[in-house]
Structure 1
Amino acid sequence: MNRLCRFAIASDLHIALPHTISPKPGFHLVEVSIPAFEQVLAHLEQLDLDFLLLPGDLTQDGEWDNHRWLLNRLEKLPFPTYVVPGNHDLIHPLGDDATIGMGDFAPLYQRFGYDNPQQLYYGCELVPGVQLVALNSTQFDPEGKQLGCLDEAQWQWLAASLPEWGDRFVIVMIHHNVLEHLPHQATHPLGRRYMLKDAARLRALLRANGVQLTLTGHLHIQDVAQTEGLTEILTGSLVGYPHPYRIVELWQEREQIRLDLKTYCVKSLPGWENLPELSRDWIAERSFPFMSRLVMGPPFYLQDEAEIAEAAKALRYFWPDLAAGDCTLTFPQLPLEIQAHLETFNATAKIDNQAIFRFQSP
């Protein structure tokens, strides 16, 4: 075998300097964003990496100060880094004194993929024979409402460019999910906001051009989905349980491309010495409103307040355990119909954190 490259993926960093953190604690631990990222970089700098990929939500809420901190830190790395924006990086189309706008992102990150400061997408040959296609899925409607989709200029560029890279192994990096990672994610009220609205159109275009691999974030869970020849590696958030990041190796193996996937997690930080346990409990303690919405919606439609409260309490660890990947969820205290549905979230194969995948060579 011939190794093509070794790279890392860290997603949904939500970098937040202390003065940008809300005094009201949130669902995820943005309080550890900087020390966690520093620990990850300390590990990555010890490896013979070819590059680092960051698939969006680089900052907590698009703050100039947080973007500048991240830019300064990335410039010091001994390997190149490539980024795309997430929904938290561009919260207003025009920005203001506190937050960047759409026109600011590419000029800021010119050294991290954006060779054309006039557009929020790009292509780059990472190493010989391996092509990155970096897309922007954060758009706004005329009223300034945020959308998760591609704009028409991006579609035209993608349709024209993909055939030119037909002799390379193409990796597409985008923030929103292209494949479903939860049952009925594309249609469920709680899941569809994490899906690319025009995902079906993108899947069709990628298939037509022989693209087999996408990398995404946004949903804050560890998951690998495979559908109709497309594999999508979704990396969980560095500020959420289990605080994961990934190391990937690509190998040329005869007529195939072999991908070796391995997950690492931040285990301890100053003041958070038992980070996994504290983080898992942190989410569980704040899960009641989310779990209540889950059981009040499809397919359960619970209405009785006591039943809703009982189910939400029983599901307090549902999200962190799902976020860890390769999950086996059991809730024997819940009604059988709820148990049966929740079992559809269980992993059918243990591929979310460590696995080997093979793709057809271009």
Structure 2
Amino acid sequence: MLIAQISDTHVSTPKGPDDDFLHTSEHLARAVAHLNRLDARPDLVVITGDLVDRGEVAEYERLRGLLAPLTMPVFLLPGNHDDRDNLRRVFVDHAYLPRDGFLQYTVDGWPVRLVVLDTNIPGEPGGRLCAERLAWLEARLAEEPQRPTVVAMHHPPFSIGLPLMDSFGLDGIDGLAAVLRRHSQVERVLCGHLHRPIVRRFAGTVACTCPATAHQLALDLPPANRLAIVMEPPACMLHLWLGDAGGLVTHVSLIGDKHPPLTLHDGQGWVRDAQPPPGFHAT
């Protein structure tokens, strides 16, 4: 099984700030094309929040059009830029989305189970896992204790050493850790929010954040204390299930065709006098 993850798409209306300056919609279109042309076809795509920039209906309608070409099922979850009701209204045919309350659900039918958590606090940049949301997670994990499981949510359950972003973190981390320690089937916690690939051990499993499909967060480690973005190459994550023996392996896949591969071994043997493809360069 192959799970593709994209995050922080920040789709805006035409000529909106993210559209005009960061070209987020164009970048999402490239990400969709990238996923569709992967040789290893993902079984599903999960988008870990900040789907749009201001939570407006028109933004979700544009997002819907941009995602329409995907040739595999797509599952959405809210981030701090999202509006639950408007998301539900535009994606009303996505039957997995609850009709009211938190946007939390499970995805079954594949070798790895997906459990989606809603960390949104309307109007605030940080996230929260309250007692109700944690109780829901506990109940869902208790349903399938032997099934390999991935938990997906927007806000990561750890600090990253960037003070400003850490101030927009997740409330309820200790409660989440307590739940996860009781359920060893959780292979990974997939998050967004940070616009960078970051990995940390957490509560007996591994938690990671996904790069954005457009702009990335500048890596300003202490003593720097600013919040900046950088147009590093956008990327997605590919989570490959290799079975009980191999477990879940996570890869970062750069989006775009600026760096074509040079084949050294074609599956049958080493390629003699391999010729670089057009566009291949070492700079």
CA distance in 2, matches of 1:222, 1:63: 28
Aligned to 1:148: 127
CA distance in 2, matches of 1:207, 1:106: 32
Aligned to 2:15: 19
Q: 2:149 aligns with which of 158, 170, 182?
A: 170
CA distance in 1, matches of 2:92, 2:147: 24
Aligned to 1:246: 237
> For the Cα contact (< 8 Å) 1:81–1:112, is it kept in 2?
no
> For the Cα contact (< 8 Å) 2:27–2:213, is it kept in 1?
yes
The one-character-per-residue Cα deviations of 1:45-101 (angstroms, maximum 9, x if unpaired) are 1232211110001112212211111123324422100111111113xxxxxxxxxxx
Count of matched residue positions in the alignment of Structure 1 and Structure 2 = 240
Task: Classify the secondary structure of the residue corresponding to 1:79.
Answer: coil
> For the Cα contact (< 8 Å) 1:58–1:85, is it kept in 2?
yes
C-alpha RMSD of matched pairs (Å):
2.6
The one-character-per-residue Cα deviations of 1:287-313 (angstroms, maximum 9, x if unpaired) are xxxxxxxxxxxxxxxxxxxxxxxxxxx
Give the C-alpha shift of residue 200 in structure 1: 1.6
Aligned to 1:193: 167
List gaps (5 residues or longer) in structure 2. Answer: 216-231, 259-283
CA distance in 1, matches of 2:70, 2:109: 18
Q: 1:129 aligns with which of 98, 108, 111?
A: 111
Q: 2:208 aligns with which of 230, 233, 242?
A: 233
Give the C-alpha shift of residue 175 in structure 1: 0.6
Opposite residue 249 of structure 1, the aligned amino acid is: L
The one-character-per-residue Cα deviations of 1:259-280 (angstroms, maximum 9, x if unpaired) are 1423213476xxxxxxxxxxxx
CA distance in 1, matches of 2:130, 2:95: 19
CA distance in 1, matches of 2:155, 2:30: 26
The one-character-per-residue Cα deviations of 1:219-274 (angstroms, maximum 9, x if unpaired) are 111211123422112112222123221222111043x5231423213476xxxxxx
Aligned to 2:280: none
> For the Cα contact (< 8 Å) 2:4–2:42, is it kept in 1?
yes
- The TM-score, its normalising length taken from structure 1, stands at 0.60
Q: 2:189 aligns with which of 214, 236, 252?
A: 214
Aligned to 2:248: 258
Q: 2:67 aligns with which of 46, 62, 74?
A: 74
Aligned to 1:203: 177
The one-character-per-residue Cα deviations of 1:162-193 (angstroms, maximum 9, x if unpaired) are 1002121111111101133x23x6xx4x1323
User: Equivalences for 1:191-340 in 2 at 5 Å?
Assistant: 191-210=165-184, 211-240=186-215, 241-254=232-245, 256-266=246-256
Aligned to 1:43: 34
CA distance in 1, matches of 2:18, 2:74: 29
> For the Cα contact (< 8 Å) 2:155–2:192, is it kept in 1?
yes
CA distance in 1, matches of 2:205, 2:213: 25
Task: Classify the secondary structure of the residue corresponding to 2:171.
Answer: coil
- The TM-score, its normalising length taken from structure 2, stands at 0.75
CA distance in 2, matches of 1:170, 1:253: 12
Q: Which contiguous aligned blocks of 4+ residues in structure 1 show a shift greater than 6 angstroms? A: none
Aligned to 1:89: 82
Aligned to 1:62: 55
Higher helix share: 1
> For the Cα contact (< 8 Å) 1:56–1:218, is it kept in 2?
yes
**Identical aligned residues as a percent:** 23
CA distance in 1, matches of 2:124, 2:199: 30
Deviates more, 1:153-162 or 1:46-55: 153-162
- How has the CA–CA distance of structure 1 residues 201 and 172 changed in structure 2, closer, same or farther, with 3 Å as cutoff? same
